[in-house]
A and B are shown apart, each in its own frame.
Chain A
């Protein structure tokens, strides 16, 4: 398997095979992320295309502070939130005393997916970034230009809503 460094070198030389390999390596994960944020297959396709065009145009700016996948993911998140004009509300009610119990029984995955897509855009974005993609609240705060507190609060509300939907559904 071609190493990341070899792929990058090939792409910088505008080698179409290297570019195709890079695209194939990341397309599923990035498309899935775009779909989960935008909630729409067509929008996710547009985001994927735009994002990879940006990747190939600006690969020379990739400094290697993170992995290539992480760098591409950031582009996908930015383009997805811009595409849907997602606004994350500051000042959401801060009371997070209520506890959330996911139970011991397995959660039906299809129900979970439906419930995630029923979340309002802002809640869903934070949930996807924190719980599925594993970003810290500090990283999310920087990506979305919000405070860490807002990220935590939004995640709490998203989970509360999800739990409620899974219980009633």
Chain B
């Protein structure tokens, strides 16, 4: 990557023509870029392929990482892990990179990946911007146990057990089956084509789940929850506190509903029967003896079904 150079300072012309005006605008633009730091990026890379015997569970304990997990039809797991350090001073970037360590190790049918900061005696904390980037291709049937903070997570095509703990992360999941427990604080979680037995526990997170089926449980505190269920939904249970909850379905009447709200602003479509409907407490239901039950229990916040 080329280093940005300072432009020559040209005199201001008396005759304001388009060319001069454009040049002046560009000049200001360059000055503002010049005000930005040029960062020296030091990177170390790990590349590994894990073959037979097959790994049952992949454990990832990451910090400040961008993690991509993609299912493929090979039996081995391919890992590329880049640890990078950014600082305006290359020496400091290099020294800080040395404090940024990883573990990539196997124990029987489990594989462990981890990145962390290791300080030896007397060492100062790193001042560089440290980042890890995992790109992992793996069999769809591999179970995942993943933790990450302050980064991004993307998972596609997995069909087995998923345990996720994401704090301050931007997470996206797609084509997921099987079962799992996804716990998030802050950040956002977007899912589409998720089907199976999944539990979500979120705190101050923005959740958006599209084409979601199977048996789904949600426990949300603050944040937003937007759900677009698919006809394949067999049960949905939402418990929320101070959350904005929205359930959008083309044909909402295909499910049975039991709704209880305390101090919640509720907007329900026509067809619901009210068991209680006061300013503070609202209990409503819609029942056609259908296989799929939607149970929503809210405290404060908003609930909209449409």
A residues contacting B by CB (< 8 A) are 39-40, 42, 84-85, 87, 89-94, 118, 120-123, 160-161, 164-165
Q: Of residues 235 to 252 in B, which have CB atoms within 8 Å of A's CB atoms?
A: 235, 237, 239
B179 in contact with A85 (CB, 8 Å): no
A89 in contact with B275 (CB, 8 Å): no
Enumerate chain A residues within 8 angstroms of B219, measured Cβ to Cβ.
85
The residue in A40, A120, A160, A164 that gathers the most chain B C-beta atoms within 10 A of its C-beta is A120
B283 in contact with A91 (CB, 8 Å): yes
Contact of B289 among A85, A94, A164 (CB under 8 A): A164
B291 in contact with A120 (CB, 8 Å): no
A93 to B276, CA, bound (A): 10
Q: CB of B197 within 8 A of chain A?
A: yes
B258 in contact with A93 (CB, 8 Å): yes
The residue in chain A whose Cβ has the minimal distance to the Cβ of B276 is: A91
Enumerate chain A residues within 8 angstroms of B215, measured Cβ to Cβ.
120-121
A142 to chain B, nearest CB (A): 22
Contact of B258 among A39, A87, A89, A164 (CB under 8 A): A89
A121 to B291, CA, bound (A): 13
Whether A87 contacts B197 in the complex (CB less than 8 A), given A40-B179, A118-B234, A118-B291, comes out as no
Given contacts A85-B199, A87-B217, A121-B235, 17 further A-B contacts (CB under 8 A): A39-B197, A85-B219, A87-B237, A89-B237, A90-B260, A91-B283, A93-B275, A94-B275, A118-B291, A120-B295, A121-B215, A121-B217, A122-B237, A122-B295, A161-B289, A161-B293, A164-B289
A89 in contact with B285 (CB, 8 Å): no
B239 in contact with A87 (CB, 8 Å): yes
The residue in chain B whose Cβ has the minimal distance to the Cβ of A86 is: B217
B237 in contact with A120 (CB, 8 Å): yes
Enumerate chain B residues within 8 angstroms of A39, measured Cβ to Cβ.
197
Contact of B295 among A84, A89, A164 (CB under 8 A): A89
Which DSSP category, helix, strand, loop or mixed, fits chain B's interface? Answer: strand
A93 in contact with B285 (CB, 8 Å): yes
Contact of B260 among A40, A89, A161 (CB under 8 A): A89
A39 to B181, CA, bound (A): 15
A161 to B234, CA, bound (A): 13
A84 to B239, CA, bound (A): 15
Q: CB of B297 within 8 A of chain A?
A: yes
Whether A89 contacts B297 in the complex (CB less than 8 A), given A120-B235, A121-B235, comes out as yes
B residues contacting A by CB (< 8 A) are 161, 179, 181, 197, 199, 215, 217, 219, 234-235, 237, 239, 258, 260, 275, 283, 285, 287, 289, 291, 293, 295, 297
A161 to B293, CA, bound (A): 10
Enumerate chain A residues within 8 angstroms of B197, measured Cβ to Cβ.
39-40
The residue in chain A whose Cβ has the minimal distance to the Cβ of B234 is: A118
Enumerate chain B residues within 8 angstroms of A92, measured Cβ to Cβ.
258
B217 to chain A, nearest CB (A): 7
Enumerate chain A residues within 8 angstroms of B234, measured Cβ to Cβ.
118
The 8 lowest CB-CB distance pairs between A and B, nearest first, are A120-B235, A164-B289, A120-B293, A91-B260, A93-B285, A89-B295, A85-B199, A92-B258
A121 to B287, CA, bound (A): 18
A161 to B287, CA, bound (A): 11
The residue in chain B whose Cβ has the minimal distance to the Cβ of A89 is: B295
A85 in contact with B217 (CB, 8 Å): yes
B177 to chain A, nearest CB (A): 14
A141 to chain B, nearest CB (A): 19
B57 to chain A, nearest CB (A): 12
Can you list 28 residue pairs at the A/B interface with Cβ under 8 Å? A39-B197, A40-B179, A40-B197, A84-B199, A85-B219, A87-B239, A89-B237, A89-B258, A89-B295, A90-B260, A91-B260, A91-B283, A92-B258, A93-B275, A93-B283, A93-B287, A118-B234, A120-B215, A120-B237, A120-B293, A120-B295, A121-B215, A121-B235, A122-B295, A123-B293, A161-B293, A164-B289, A165-B291
A85 to B199, CA, bound (A): 8
A120 to B291, CA, bound (A): 9
